[in-house]
């Protein structure tokens, strides 16, 4: 039993060193995980094993489970263990991993927002949807909820996109995916908000129109942060289509679209 524990400690420290070698800074890793640097060094050298709580935090940071991090023995001369070899993640999935110092900045944007954009499916109308930004297992995730009643046919169309937020080059990227009859991807790029205007965030939305054709489009957008005590049910009830001059829209939102361009829609060849 003691021999097995020693082997697990050796495998763990070796795997941890290889994982840390893929990151720019061990100090940044410690800050993001919330573990003392001196204690973390003991894990790296094999002088100590983390508590169950700290082990879970380390696994969450590297997107691994405990069995993967304790697996061994490490292969001599092999390339550093990274997220491809241990978690079988694609290069794109690796690119979504948090960078040093990113998580504390993105936490400032957690909350529920109204998501306003111009839709090619209903020209001349502003579509209002709901966007939730939240943290789970040290990742900033997103959930987009849309609900629109067609003004002509009266049919209700619902949509849901789940995604992840990353901060790259002073821009916030929301990479979103919808699973349904026809799977789809979307992307939102946001300009980080200044402190005095944190309740409103502007950017661009890229997606696929609903009808008459599933054409790619791009639109300016603005997010408006909702009150913390406002229920999700209430927020979804406000989803729909609005005229650009509708008094039901926030004045800052109306001004954003007052002289804005129509959405760009890609046509068929």
- CA separation for the pair 129, 148 (Å, rounded): 9
The number of folded domains in the chain is 2
Q: Are 202 and 222 in contact (CB under 8 A)?
A: yes
Structural domain ending residue among the three candidates 90, 114, 143 = 90
Structural domain ending residue among the three candidates 90, 125, 157 = 90
On whether both 224 and 158 belong to a single domain, the answer is yes
* pTM to 2 decimal places: 0.67
On whether both 235 and 188 belong to a single domain, the answer is yes
On whether both 183 and 259 belong to a single domain, the answer is yes
On whether both 51 and 141 belong to a single domain, the answer is no
Q: What is the CATH number of the domain that holds 161?
A: 2.40.128
pLDDT score of 75 more than 50: no
On whether both 155 and 193 belong to a single domain, the answer is yes
Assigned domain for 77 exists: yes
**pLDDT class for 95, splitting at 50, 70, 90?**
confident
Assigned domain for 99 exists: no
Q: What is the DSSP string of 143-181?
A: EEEEEEE-TTT--EEEEEEEEEEEEETTEEEEEEEE-SS
Assigned domain for 250 exists: yes
On whether both 46 and 174 belong to a single domain, the answer is no
On whether both 140 and 217 belong to a single domain, the answer is yes
Residue owning tokens 């946001």: 190
pLDDT score of 72 more than 70: no
pLDDT score of 84 more than 80: no
Minimal CA–CA distance to 201: which of 92, 86, 100, 114?
114
Q: Note down the domain range covering 116.
A: 106-265
On whether both 85 and 127 belong to a single domain, the answer is no
The mean of the pLDDT values for the chain is: 82
On whether both 72 and 157 belong to a single domain, the answer is no
């Amino acid at each position: 039993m003691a021999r097995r524990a020693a082997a697990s400690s050796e495998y763990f420290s070796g795997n941890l060193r290889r994982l840390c070698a893929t990151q720019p800074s061990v100090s940044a890793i410690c800050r993001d995980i919330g573990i003392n640097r001196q204690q973390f060094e003991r894990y790296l050298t094999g002088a100590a094993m983390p508590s169950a709580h700290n082990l879970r935090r380390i696994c969450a940071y590297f997107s691994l489970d405990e069995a993967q991090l304790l697996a061994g023995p490490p292969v001599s001369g092999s390339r550093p263990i990274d997220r491809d070899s241990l978690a079988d993640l694609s290069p794109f999935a690796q690119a979504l991993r948090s960078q040093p110092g990113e998580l504390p900045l993105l936490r400032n944007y957690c909350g529920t927002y109204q998501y306003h954009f111009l839709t090619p499916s209903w020209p001349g109308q502003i579509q209002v949807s709901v966007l939730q930004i939240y943290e789970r297992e040290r990742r900033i995730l997103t959930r987009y909820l849309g609900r629109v009643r067609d003004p002509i046919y009266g049919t209700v169309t619902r949509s849901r996109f789940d995604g992840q937020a990353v901060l790259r080059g002073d821009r916030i990227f929301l990479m979103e995916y919808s699973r349904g009859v026809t799977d789809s991807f979307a992307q939102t790029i946001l300009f980080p908000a200044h402190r005095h205007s944190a309740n409103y965030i502007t950017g661009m939305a890229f997606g696929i129109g609903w009808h008459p054709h599933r054409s790619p489009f791009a639109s300016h957008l603005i997010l408006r942060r909702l009150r913390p005590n406002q229920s999700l049910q209430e927020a979804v009830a406000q989803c729909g289509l609005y005229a650009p001059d509708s008094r039901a829209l926030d004045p800052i939102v109306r001004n954003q679209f007052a002289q804005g361009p129509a959405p760009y829609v890609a046509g068929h060849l």
